[in-house]
Homo-oligomer: A and B are copies of this chain.
Amino acid sequence: MQQYQHIRQAAYEANMQLPALGLVIFTFGNVSAADRGLGVFAIKPSGVPYAELSPEKMVIVDFDGKTVEGQLRPSSDTLTHAVLYKHWEDIGGIVHTHSTYATAWAQSQRDIPIYGTTHADHNTIDIPCAPPMHDDMIAGDYEYQTGFQIINTLAERGLSYKEIEMILVGNHAPFTWGATPAKAVYNSAVLESVAQMAYLTESINGNAPRLKDALIKKHFERKHGPNSYYGQ
């Protein structure tokens, strides 16, 4: 059990950030933390309220979705996490929430247009909304297929999971990821904020234009380009 303590702790702390940031109520979300070397991740147990979580309650699962250690049943979304870890070798954390504004966009089945620099500080493109899955994918191994729906949507648009660390699953809700669980949680909060601003922007100006390319490029490169100068 000692060997997994670091990811149990990381998953616990990241899960506790979700209610603190106003991104979940009750049990409507989950975070996982991976150890790529060990080939496993720690994830929230299914249906347990945040106030009752502890590092010890996190469940250890391998990248095929098999429970390796833990007394509790893992999150019902575990297979989605497993698929993404298995196919994307550089991510260390995944978050799923039903945060209000991001979920409303997912229910609207629309990409979130890039309307400003808050968006461009984090992504150079509209935040994609994956279409709802085909009925046979849903009826089959649903959570497993949700992982492939995410992977396929990025592929169809020619996007890498390194370029965009967030997606809406149509009619469902957002998933985000990152190098660490903390980064994935950060991405969930950014997404919620960008989703709210985009909604308000369209309400204030029904003809609001997308951000122009020069600003997209500039803001993204300030934070992420080879000559980035944001942060320490």
Give chain A's interface residues, CB within 8 Å of chain B: 21, 25-26, 28, 45-48, 72-73, 76, 98, 100-101, 103-110, 115-118, 132-133, 135, 138-139, 142, 171-173, 186, 189-190, 193, 196-205, 208-209, 211-212, 214-215, 218, 222, 229-232
Contacts and interface: CB of A to CB of B under 8 A. Distances in A.
A200 B76 contact: no
A194 to B, nearest CB: 10
Contact of A101 (B135, B173, B200, B218): B200
The 7 closest A-B pairs by CB, nearest first: A47-B231, A104-B200, A108-B205, A107-B116, A135-B214, A108-B204, A107-B201
Most buried by B among A28, A104, A200, A222: A104
Contacts of A72: 232
Nearest to A106: B116
A188 to B, nearest CB: 11
A25 B107 contact: no
Contacts of A117: 98, 171-173
B205 A203 contact: no
B109 A205 contact: yes
A215 B145 CA distance: 13
A209 B170 CA distance: 11
Given A73-B232, A118-B98, A215 B107 contact: no
Contacts of A106: 116
B200 A202 contact: no
A79 to B, nearest CB: 11
A110 B232 contact: no
Contacts of A204: 104-105, 108, 110, 199, 202
Given A48-B232, A201-B108, A204-B105, A173 B116 contact: yes
Contacts of A171: 115-117, 211-212, 215
A189 B17 CA distance: 20
